[in-house]
Homo-oligomer: A and B are copies of this chain.
Amino acid sequence: MLEKIDLKKKLSKEEYKRVAPDLEIRLGQLQRKIKEHGIPVIIVFEGWGAAGKGTLINKFLLPLDPRGIQVLPTLAPNEEQTLRPFLWRFWIHTPERGRIHIFDRSWYRRVLKERVDDGVDSDDLRNEFDDIRAFERKLTADGTVIVKFFLHISQKEQQKRFRKLEKNPALAWRVNETDWKENEQYEDYVRAVDEMIERTDTGHARWTIVEATDERFATIKIFQGFIHAMEDKLAEIEPQQEAGRADAAGESARSAPVVEGLNASILDKVDLSGEMLDEEYRERKKKCQSRLRELEHELYIRRIPLMIVYEGWDAAGKGGNIRRLVQTLDPRGYEVVPISAPNDIEKAHHYLWRFWIRIPKAGHVTIFDRSWYGRVMVERIEGFCSRVEWRRAYREINEMEGHLTNFGAILIKFWLQIDRDEQIRRFRERENIPHKRWKITSEDWRNREKWDDYRAAVDEMLYRTSTTYAPWTVVESNCKRFARIKAMQTVIERVEQRLEG
């Protein structure tokens, strides 16, 4: 999922000055709360070499009382440490109640650097992920708050920073051969990081990827990430109190200013300018459709199940896109499943049940027009499930998809992206063209008002459920023709990859 992150994110000096002071005050307030309630806090800083861990940790420390906080750098294990199980050196440095321990690199070193450099076999790696999850689960079950940041910069940015350091005689020592090796192996590390996040982004100890190209942006994202995590914890501990005290004592509960766009990295990066003329469209559509029909038979013979998920904004063109995809397929081999609000029987079951009963047999194709992702979009935003429920849903969904793909299924997930202007244009068109009027309801207008909420939810969905085994494909859909070809092309590629693999 790292490759989906928009690394151009920036914050102007003015905007930084507008928001930073209040956030800093809030950090101080929260530290006092941490002490008052005896909450142990662990903050993990992982990230690329030269991503700015040191600087950003300092920015974070500045507004805090140093007596309650400790920074623990994690280097290669020394002899004392290699003579004990790898979690030992972290266990013994877990914070006392009421204290904050910041790990500058951490137990994740094991599944990043040591993994890439030393090569670890798959069984050992699984043990280590299991151990890490168990470690974090034990601590959070006991009341510890764990906040994990991954500071992300591009390969080029890293090169640039290394060169700059090397030019400065006072700092040149900070760059050595292994740093340059990391830069060369950037792609290997990306895969390791993706897998690390996939396997350890749990409801109780979540990862935040921090776009670290711009220091101001990264600083604010870290401040806000920490504040949100602590406010969640406090809401658990003192749900009433917190609100009451805010009015009374001036230590206002959620006083920190909200900085928009901190979490919309993926959608912001999408370039919607792609277009396709009719002629090219017709030609490519024909080719794609005939290839799709061949592949459908191939899948049947090889007994491979294929599942395609369509999600997207209202009026993004899901229906039309799906129709083109299946137009020439053998109807005995595929099924399109439209998903709307659950009925009574469905409501009486686990929310995933209604999808389980519809998964295809091996060799068949099922296309879901909307899907289980409703849990982390409409159900989240409309309050049809609780915060705890939708937050744990990311992992539940990843696990379900892992089970399906382990069985051998190909799972393709499309997010059809349009911008707000395009949506309103299409809404108006639907209202004005009699045979399209049925497509637009007052609900669509209501959803549109919640565009920003949906945007944040979509971004988080793309981020937390884009796995190595079931990645999301964002389909730029301002131009419907472009979108249809991209979807078909993606299906063809993914299926071909699998058939060859």
A residues sitting closer than 8 Å to B (CB atoms) are 38, 40, 80, 83-88, 91-92, 94, 96-98, 122-123, 126-127, 131, 134, 138-139, 141-142, 144, 303, 305, 345, 348-353, 356-357, 359, 361-363, 392, 396, 399, 402-404, 406-407, 409
In the complex, the answer to whether B348 meets A97 with C-beta atoms within 8 Å is yes
Complex CA distance for A406 and B359, rounded to whole angstroms: 38
In the complex, the answer to whether A85 meets B409 with C-beta atoms within 8 Å is yes
Q: How far is the CB of A40 from chain B (nearest CB, A)?
A: 8
| A84 partner, pick from B91, B131, B353, B361, beta carbons under 8 A | B361
Q: How far is the CB of A305 from chain B (nearest CB, A)?
A: 8
Given A141-B392, A350-B139, A392-B141, do A357 and B92 touch, yes or no (CB 8 Å)?
yes
Q: Cβ of A142: which chain B residues have Cβ within 8 Å of it?
A: 350-351
Q: Cβ of A88: which chain B residues have Cβ within 8 Å of it?
A: 356, 359
In the complex, the answer to whether A407 meets B353 with C-beta atoms within 8 Å is no
| A404 partner, pick from B85, B94, B144, beta carbons under 8 A | B85
In the complex, the answer to whether B138 meets A399 with C-beta atoms within 8 Å is yes
| A83 partner, pick from B123, B303, B348, B396, beta carbons under 8 A | B303
Q: How far is the CB of A218 from chain B (nearest CB, A)?
A: 31
Q: What residue of chain B has the Cβ atom nearest to residue A80's Cβ?
A: B361
Q: Cβ of A87: which chain B residues have Cβ within 8 Å of it?
A: 403
Given A96-B349, A350-B144, A403-B87, do A396 and B138 touch, yes or no (CB 8 Å)?
yes
In the complex, the answer to whether A353 meets B91 with C-beta atoms within 8 Å is yes
Q: How far is the CB of A146 from chain B (nearest CB, A)?
A: 12
In the complex, the answer to whether B362 meets A83 with C-beta atoms within 8 Å is yes
Given A142-B350, A356-B88, do A363 and B122 touch, yes or no (CB 8 Å)?
no
In the complex, the answer to whether B144 meets A406 with C-beta atoms within 8 Å is no
| A356 partner, pick from B92, B123, B127, B363, beta carbons under 8 A | B92
Q: Cβ of A96: which chain B residues have Cβ within 8 Å of it?
A: 345, 348-349
10 A-B pairs within 8 Å (CB atoms) are namely A40-B349, A85-B404, A88-B356, A92-B356, A94-B349, A94-B350, A97-B348, A122-B123, A134-B396, A142-B350
Complex CA distance for A97 and B353, rounded to whole angstroms: 12
| A403 partner, pick from B122, B131, B349, B403, beta carbons under 8 A | B131
Given A138-B350, A350-B138, A361-B84, do A406 and B94 touch, yes or no (CB 8 Å)?
no
Q: Cβ of A345: which chain B residues have Cβ within 8 Å of it?
A: 96
Q: How far is the CB of A112 from chain B (nearest CB, A)?
A: 19
Given A85-B404, A85-B407, A123-B122, do A352 and B80 touch, yes or no (CB 8 Å)?
no
Q: Cβ of A127: which chain B residues have Cβ within 8 Å of it?
A: 406
Q: Cβ of A126: which chain B residues have Cβ within 8 Å of it?
A: 126
Q: What residue of chain B has the Cβ atom nearest to residue A406's Cβ?
A: B127
In the complex, the answer to whether A84 meets B407 with C-beta atoms within 8 Å is yes
In the complex, the answer to whether B94 meets A353 with C-beta atoms within 8 Å is yes
Complex CA distance for A366 and B349, rounded to whole angstroms: 51
Q: Cβ of A352: which chain B residues have Cβ within 8 Å of it?
A: 91, 138
In the complex, the answer to whether A134 meets B348 with C-beta atoms within 8 Å is no
| A91 partner, pick from B98, B122, B348, B356, beta carbons under 8 A | B356
| A359 partner, pick from B84, B134, B303, B363, beta carbons under 8 A | B84
Complex CA distance for A359 and B88, rounded to whole angstroms: 8
Q: How far is the CB of A471 from chain B (nearest CB, A)?
A: 19
Q: Cβ of A86: which chain B residues have Cβ within 8 Å of it?
A: 407
Q: Cβ of A350: which chain B residues have Cβ within 8 Å of it?
A: 40, 94, 138-139, 142, 144
In the complex, the answer to whether A134 meets B97 with C-beta atoms within 8 Å is no
Complex CA distance for A363 and B79, rounded to whole angstroms: 13
Q: What residue of chain B has the Cβ atom nearest to residue A203's Cβ?
A: B141
Q: Cβ of A122: which chain B residues have Cβ within 8 Å of it?
A: 123
Q: How far is the CB of A71 from chain B (nearest CB, A)?
A: 19
Complex CA distance for A361 and B83, rounded to whole angstroms: 5
Q: How far is the CB of A270 from chain B (nearest CB, A)?
A: 32
Q: How far is the CB of A462 from chain B (nearest CB, A)?
A: 22
Q: Cβ of A349: which chain B residues have Cβ within 8 Å of it?
A: 40, 94, 96-97
Q: Cβ of A134: which chain B residues have Cβ within 8 Å of it?
A: 396, 399, 403
